[in-house]
Amino acid sequence: MSKIIIDPITRIEGHLSVELEVSGGKVADARIRGDMFRGFEKILVGRNPVDAVQITQRICGVCPISHGIASCRCLEDAFKNPVNKNGRLLRNLVLTANFLQSHILHFYHLAALDYVDITAVTKYTGMDPKLNHIKNWVLNEMETKKGRLDQVTTGAPFLPRYEGEGIYIQDDAFNLEAIAHYVKALDIRLKTHQLVAVFGGRVPHAIGLVPGGITQVPTKEKIKLYQDTLEEVEHFVNQIYLPDIVAVAQMIPDYFKIGQFQDFLAYGEFPAENGDPYFKSGVLEGGNLANPEINKITEQVKYTRYVSPSNLHPSGGQTEADPKKTQAYSWIKAPRYNGNPMEVGPLARTLINYHAGHAEVKQEVDGLLNKLNADASVLLSSNGRHAARAIESKLLCARAKKWISEININEKPRSEYSIPSEGSGTGLAEAPRGALGHWITIDKGKIGRYQCVVPTTWNASPRDDSDNKGPIEQALIGTPVKDENNPIEATRVIRSFDPCIACAVHAMRKK
């Protein structure tokens, strides 16, 4: 048995590390550690409730829209003032744009370098100035280090990287195409940011989100701008992103069996007029689908650096930190559903909707499985998480057109609210990384308590009070590690969850 510590895990958002025990060439145990404390829940206390919509967006620059929307819903619940029709549709469009940004970022700019061989760019003979720039840069790094890529200490985001015979994709033509797509994806993400701003007012933190709807008036010009920009993004998603995901998965089929986890939770998102979300909510445990009961959610703290009571429901949640707590190894709390760890995110949404018979999800998933000549069990894997992101990106591009067509430019984009002196509310949303909940208590017109339970808090949670490992910890068990100095397999599994630690701890030490 030997111990490997990967610290930091790069190409994710925030500061995460992992301690692995390896035995017989496989991961036998894992401890995933969120290495920062931030304290948003404490910052919010005593402020005007409406400030929460802006402040919670600062939890993260990758998924601010979800925090803004969860916060709006939380206030709408407490104010007893629902979102109006245009407000609902415009939020769906702003959130769609942020999902597309986040998913494209995750695959091309964070995860792809786990698979694609960046050194293939040295064989590029074309005229594209961006690719030639990368080529010269990589050649220079290799020259400087006499070809020892494992000794390069500069050169982010491409180098240093794990090295080893055949660990990256060997097909140079594919690698070159993927590197070109990496560059193209930067331009497309610019478009998705612009899409957020059309009705959100600004990126990354949208000033347009308010309880009751959105402040941006949906003019014909703005609608046309959204439609035209979306069309470019949709072309990239359908013609480049989805095919790349399928191609990479087919080249690394082992990852249909690696990184497995089996229990899933989703709150549902993109509400229709009757309140039903386009992506349904659900709890999928051992293949059985049920409606989620929000009162079954608690946060446990035995192995986290919090000394407030454990197993509290977030409506009464507390965030008292003690950096020196014995036994603790993470700043991330351990949310549990009915006492059990749950994976949240694109794979959870896709599987829950597949089991619920969602027509478009079924069609896309079955189409993919047909292509792979595989059954749905292969989705419970590292490759399955990447596929789920691309599939929901495709579905959202298509669905956004329907939401645009339902906007009435003669009606207001929001309803008016007033702030009660006392009250409480719950705001549930789906963020790109999964189920997101905000809980507020209003006391004398100010925030008395505010609690956030965030997607990566679920996925990257440490052990709970009963010593059950978190989803990423469990998914790592059994992962092969061929070379302990280059444990790329483990980082592939971790990155497949797209962890965001700023979100997960949302609670920073000055140091």
Q: Provide the minimum distance between the beta carbon of 16 and ligand NFE in the complex, in angstroms, as a whole number.
A: 11
To which H or E segment does residue 243 belong? helix 242-251
Q: Which is nearer to ligand NFE, 451 or 456 (CB)?
A: 456
> Contact between 209 and ligand NFE (CB under 6 A)?
no
Provide the minimum distance between the beta carbon of 333 and Mg ion in the complex, in angstroms, as a whole number.
6
Give the interface size with ligand NFE as a residue count (CB under 6 A).
17
Please identify, using beta-carbon distances, which residue of 306 and 403 lies nearer to Mg ion: 306
From candidates 159, 179, 504, 507, binder to ligand NFE by CB under 6 A: 504
Could you say which of Mg ion, ligand NFE, none residue 77 binds, taking C-beta under 5 to 8 angstroms by partner kind? none
Strands of the sheet with 434-443, listed across from one edge: 422-431, 434-443, 446-453
DSSP letter string, 163-221 = --TT-S---HHHHHHHHHHHHHHHHHHHHHHHHHHHHHSSSSS-TTEETTEESS---HH
Return the number of other C-beta atoms located less than 10 Å from residue 382's C-beta: 28
Q: How far is the CB of 90 from ligand NFE (least distance, A)?
A: 20
Phi, psi of 440 (to 5 degrees): -125, 145
Residue 379 contact, options ligand NFE, Mg ion, none, Cβ 5-8 Å cut-off depending on partner type: none
Question: In the stretch 429-468, what mask flags binding to Mg ion with x, by CB under 5 A?
Answer: -----------------------x----------------
Backbone angles phi, psi at 5, to 5 degrees: -115, 125
CB 118 within 8 A of CB 159: yes
> Which entry of Mg ion, ligand NFE, none binds 20, CB below 5 to 8 A by partner kind?
none
Q: Is 152 helix (H, G, I), strand (E, B) or coil?
A: coil
Q: Which of 237, 476, 503, 507 binds ligand NFE (CB under 6 A)?
A: 503
Judged by CB under 6 A, does residue 436 bind ligand NFE? yes
Closest C-alpha to 462, from 28, 27, 22, 34:
34
**In the structure encoding, which two tokens stand for residue 507, read together?**
């609670």
- At position 13, the amino acid (one-letter code) is E
Piece in contact with ligand NFE (CB under 6 A), picked from 37-45, 154-162, 454-462, 469-477: 454-462
- 398-423 as b/e: b if 16+ CB within 10 A: ebbeebbeebeeeebbbbebebeeeb
Q: Is 500 in the site for ligand NFE (CB under 6 A)?
A: yes
502 counts as binding Mg ion under rule CB under 5 A: no
Provide the mask over 57-86, with x wherever binding to ligand NFE is found by CB under 6 A and - wherever it is not: ---x-xx--xx-------------------
Of 19-48, which residues contact ligand NFE (CB under 6 A)?
A: none
- How many Cβ atoms are within 10 Å of 55's Cβ, its own excluded? 19
Using CB under 6 A, list all residues that contact ligand NFE: 13, 60, 62-63, 66-67, 431-433, 436, 454-456, 500, 502-504
